Chains A and B, each alone.
Chain A
Amino acid sequence: MRTVKLIDTTLRDGSHAMNYQYTPEHVYNICKALDEAGVYAVDVGHGAGVGGSVLQYGLSKHSDEELLSAAAEALKNAKLCVLLVPGLGTMEDLKVAYKHGARMVRVAVHCTEVDVGAQHIRLGKELGMEVAAFHMMTHMTTPEALAEQAEMAASYGADIIYIADSSGAMLPYDIEARVRAVQRAVPHLPIGVHCHNNLGLGIANPLAAVDAGAEFVDGALEGWGAGCGNTSTQNIAAVLEKAGITTGADWYKLAEAGQKYVRPLINRPLEVTNEALVLGMTGIYSSFYQRVLAASEKSGVPARAIFEELGKRKVVGGQEDVILDVVLELQEKAKQQ
């Protein structure tokens, strides 16, 4: 029987949706429930990873150290995982995370820029951590170019190649093509996928990826997360069980954990809203979602116009500062007409 490992990112990707306000108490309770439900690893921290508390995104209410310590205390079997975005998080931040119990790191790079993460991947290995090269926004590159990046990541020592659909912009056969291309390039490394639900494909996409051979799948309880959310952990756990694939997790315990600890935190609709469709169609990084909606409300510029202009400018993850320019420019244009 095939097995797939689940990594829950409620406490990291969900941090974007929480405006970075998770408390050590949230972290402890959710980690304990996820651990008991049997996920492989739990991803914890600011949405932008270790060292990610910056004005560009929003400041964390609690430090990496506080949140990771609470997680480490709660986890008995599941691995404590962190994200590190080179250019923002540093090797020093990774050492601090390790000291506070992190044993897995995902070095997150834009899909064409993995060489920026070489030193962080190597450090993760030196520390004895399980290291994934986490390629973001993979809809912006071809399967062949992604496969080349995977080969580079492998040469730095990565244990896992992650393919992220950070905009929730891909269709099942897009992600399948990327999984197959990466598999051909680095057949010795397992592949993971991280998907967003902006086009309503948050379950279909990882399922297609698993069919193509992916061995790690990300989810978040209740589908919480940036944009209109991630793959729902309890949902994908149930679907994989039905497909005869072992995850080691109890989908019903996950559902209960989501109901008890995450549902009360959710302060906005998680269905596929019209704005989420625009996000997926324009291929914008999911953490832009709430920022654009807020900027739209404040300025009166329609969210769709902002997203479309951002799409034209081909912004990548982390470029939230462009929202202000776009809004000022669109306001100026509106005045002239």
Chain B
Amino acid sequence: MGKRIKVGIIGPGNIGTDLMYKVMRSPLLEMSVMIGIDPSSAGLKRAAGLGITTSSDGIEFLVQNPDMAEIVFDATTARAHAQVNAPTLERLGKIAIDLTPAAVGKIATPMVNMKDCLNEKNVNLITCGGQATTPIVYAINRVVPLEYAEVVTTVASDSAGPGTRANIDEYTQTTAKALRLLGGAERAKVMTIFNPAKPQMAMRNTIFGIPKHRDFKIEDVRASVEEMAAQIRTYVPGYELTVAPVIDRDVITTTVTVEGQGDFLPKYAGNLDIETASAVKMAEMFAEKLLRERGELA
């Protein structure tokens, strides 16, 4: 087995635990430490049960044991990341992958701009809708520039945590910003729907685009989007184009459903799976660069 890069996770909740299982599968990452602040946390116990080092000392553990991780996922809260974890990780010289809405670092998604972020020390995962739809807007926009992009994301109510619910406006605005900055659309709007149906539905995203001109072939748009979906499937296997781009009255419509891998979170929670899977993919891209620089890539 080749060399791996040590990884730490702060925040042993549902997201942190799902991340842990994905890291354990990675050929480039070593699941080194799970960090929380509550010694009785179920997530810390679960990690310890798998033979992983755990600590309930919070970020202080890394200050004392800086060799335990080169890359650190933050799955806590925006406030904890911005006020405590981000500045500490920066001081320690660690690479931070931020799954909170804090957006201290550059917003990134693996198949659009991650290659340009490999010299960053802090990257942010945008939102689940942003991970699912920014690449599609980008894939359309590279064929025909979009004057407007609109995303309608519907997720199972059970997969939307209290943080997202209480801050739905911030979620909406952050996603829309990513559609513009990374996707390339001139204007963007986002709509989010929570559906309580049982059995729970998988995450569903409809992406509408208004092209700036009609001098393009929809087949080219389709090919670009299908290529992007195939790339995303390498790290999110449940990422499916349910409606490949179709055009009707100057509006390009694409629908993507995302089913999760069911590592720790339920399968219907594709919205959460695409967050954790994208975060791990980003960590692997960092790890690959570090190992290559050190001549340790097997």
Q: Which A residues have a C-beta under 8 Å from some C-beta of B?
A: 54-56, 86-88, 90-92, 110, 112-113, 115-116, 118-120, 140, 313-319, 321-322, 324-325, 328
Contact = CB atoms under 8 A, between A and B. Distances in A.
Contact of A113 (B169, B194, B208): B194
Interface residues of B, number: 31
B109 interface: no
Interface string B135-178: 00000000000000010101001000010011111001100000
A300 to B, nearest CB: 16
B194 A54 contact: no
Given A115-B162, A115-B166, A325-B242, A55 B193 contact: no
Nearest to B248: A324
Chain B interface, DSSP helix/strand/loop, else mixed: strand
B192 interface: yes
B168 A119 contact: yes
B187 to A, nearest CB: 11
A313 B166 CA distance: 27
Contacts of B242: 325
B196 A90 contact: no
A118 B166 contact: yes
Contacts of B206: 56, 321
A87 B194 contact: yes
Given A87-B172, A112-B157, A324 B195 contact: no
B214 to A, nearest CB: 17
B247 interface: no
A12 B255 CA distance: 29
Given A90-B173, A113-B194, 17 more contacts: A54-B150, A55-B150, A55-B210, A55-B251, A56-B191, A56-B206, A87-B193, A88-B191, A110-B193, A110-B196, A113-B157, A119-B166, A119-B167, A313-B197, A316-B197, A319-B152, A328-B243
Contacts of A140: 196
B189 interface: yes
Contacts of A88: 191-192
B77 interface: no
Question: A116, A318, A324 — which one has the most chain B CB atoms within 10 A of its CB?
Answer: A116
Contacts of B167: 119
A114 to B, nearest CB: 10
B172 A324 contact: no
Closest 4 CB pairs between A and B?
A314-B197, A321-B206, A87-B192, A55-B208
A86 B206 CA distance: 18
Contacts of B208: 55-56
B253 interface: yes
Contacts of B197: 313-314, 316
Question: B172, B192, B196 — which one has the most chain A CB atoms within 10 A of its CB?
Answer: B196
B193 A318 contact: yes
Contacts of B255: 321, 324-325
Nearest to B210: A55
A54 to B, nearest CB: 6
B201 to A, nearest CB: 8
A124 B179 CA distance: 29
A116 B251 contact: no
Contacts of B150: 54-56
Nearest to A51: B189
B162 A113 contact: no
14 contacts: A55-B150, A55-B210, A56-B206, A56-B208, A86-B168, A115-B166, A119-B167, A120-B169, A140-B196, A315-B195, A319-B195, A321-B255, A324-B246, A324-B255
Contacts of B157: 112-113
Interface in B232-266: 242-243, 246, 251, 253, 255
Given A319-B154, A321-B152, A324-B253, A112 B191 contact: no
Question: B150, B154, B173 — which one has the most chain A CB atoms within 10 A of its CB?
Answer: B154
Interface string B197-217: 100010010101010000000
Contacts of B210: 55
Given A90-B169, A115-B166, A325-B242, A319 B253 contact: no
A309 to B, nearest CB: 14
A168 B191 CA distance: 24
A90 B173 CA distance: 9
Nearest to A145: B196
A331 B167 CA distance: 40
B197 to A, nearest CB: 4
Contact of A116 (B152, B168, B191, B246): B168
A318 B243 contact: no
